[in-house]
């Protein structure tokens, strides 16, 4: 229900941060492309919920680049990034907001 949007998140500490806030009742985030980079080795998770996420055990200075995809989020759920302690961890996401089924 929206044009393509873009979000950027940069973090240098361990934990989980929202990349895109929950869109509101009746909507979902649909990711159409993303880029993740990690400065140090560790597990990086990008996702909506425990059952709807992407997890990588990344090497230091590794990048993941995924374009032209269609990854549908859970209804009214934020897209979050969980990063290892030292980072830095960077993510860029292209997405649209759609009506949730």
Give 31-40 pLDDT, tens digit per residue: 999 999 999 8
Domains and CATH numbers, the chain: 5-99 (2.60.120)
SS3 of residue 68 by DSSP: strand
- Among candidate residues 18, 22, 19, 16, the one with its CA nearest the CA of residue 8: 19
- Among candidate residues 39, 40, 68, 73, the one with its CA nearest the CA of residue 54: 73
pTM of the model: 0.92
pLDDT band with cut points at 50, 70 and 90 for residue 92 = very high
Give 53-91 pLDDT, tens digit per residue: 999 999 999 999 998 789 999 999 999 999 987 779 999
């Amino acid at each position: 229900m929206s044009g393509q949007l873009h979000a950027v998140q940069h973090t240098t500490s361990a934990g989980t941060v929202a990349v895109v806030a929950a869109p509101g009742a009746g909507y979902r985030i649909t990711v159409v492309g993303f880029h993740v980079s990690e400065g140090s080795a560790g597990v990086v998770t990008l996702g909506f919920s425990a059952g709807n996420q992407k997890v990588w055990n990344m090497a230091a200075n590794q990048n993941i680049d995924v374009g032209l995809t269609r990854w549908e989020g859970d209804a009214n759920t934020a897209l979050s990034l969980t990063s290892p302690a030292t980072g830095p961890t960077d993510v860029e996401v292209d997405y649209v907001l759609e009506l949730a089924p």
